[in-house]
Amino acid sequence: GAGVSQSPSNKVTEKGKDVELRCDPISGHTALYWYRQRLGQGLEFLIYFQGNSAPDKSGLPSDRFSAERTGESVSTLTIQRTQQEDSAVYLCASSPGARGPQYFGPGTRLTVT
Amino acid sequence: SQQGEEDPQALSIQEGENATMNCSYKTSINNLQWYRQNSGRGLVHLILIRSNEREKHSGRLRVTLDTSKKSSSLLITASRAADTASYFCATDANDYKLSFGAGTTVTVRA
């Protein structure tokens, strides 16, 4: 079946602009995660959605970052007033439940100029 | 914060050789997972080992877990050019969040 998809695959934006990143999880997966990966580093947890529960936003680095998820489907990660330090690959993952393997999308490479 | 730390940071081997990388972590875990990442994009799940397991195999992959030392190792046997990638360990410390290390970059030379 279809895997996790993300769009756009690449985004170049000017400092100060807002960006919206989209994630389509695997159908039926109740858990959805967003991570950030800076060049040459591991993944930083950003936010977690599980079904209709309140999301865990504890990893969001500032109030410029927000995310939404519609039911158990699409999620969007929004970064307002982008800064150069926001440049990274943003990865989305989904899983059938709250534990176990996560299935990753190809990521969105964000470059803030 | 990153709980897992991989060692070495980089590894270069000849095709056909074995590659071993290690992961150390700090807190107690429910399970530990290994992922592969090609070209800095999406990660692929390789193997999950639970805290009550000591060893697990999947094809050419062998993972060990020593909870007393808070460490794990990933062995890739008979390496191929297609194994060139970054490998990450990720720990599930009794919640749903995975903590990833910085990864080991493996280069397999033809």
Percent of chain A with pLDDT over 90: 84
Mean pLDDT, rounded, of chain A: 94
Return the pLDDT at A67.
97
Of A110, A53, A50, A54, nearest to A78 (Cα)? A110
Cβ-Cβ contacts under 8 Å, B92 against chain A: 99
CA distance A82 to A64: 8
Q: Which two tokens stand for residue B44?
A: 């692929």
pLDDT of A79 over the 50 cut: yes
* pLDDT bucket at A97, cuts 50 / 70 / 90: confident
Return the pLDDT at B3.
67
CA distance A22 to A28: 17
Q: What is the largest CA-CA distance in chain A?
A: 38
Residues of chain B where predicted confidence (pLDDT) is lower than 70: 1-3, 40, 94
Give the per-residue SS3 of B54-110. CEEEECCEEEEEECCCCEEEEEECCCCHHHCEEEEEEEECCCCCEEECCCEEEEEEC
Of B25, B4, B51, B97, nearest to A99 (Cα)? B97
Instruction: Check B98 against A102: CB less than 8 A apart.
Output: yes
Q: Cβ of A41 under 8 Å from any chain B Cβ? A: yes
Interface test with chain B among A6, A57, A58, A102, by most B beta carbons within 10 Å: A102
Q: What length does chain A have?
A: 113
Q: What length does chain B have?
A: 110
Of the partner residues B31, B41, B99, the one whose CB lies closest to the CB of residue A106: B41
CB pairs under 8 A between A and B: 59
Q: Is A54 exposed, middle or buried (0-12, 13-18, 19+ CB in 10 A)?
A: exposed
pLDDT tens digits for B46-73?
999 999 999 999 999 999 999 999 999 9
Min Cα–Cα distance to chain B from A102, Å: 7
Return the pLDDT at B1.
46
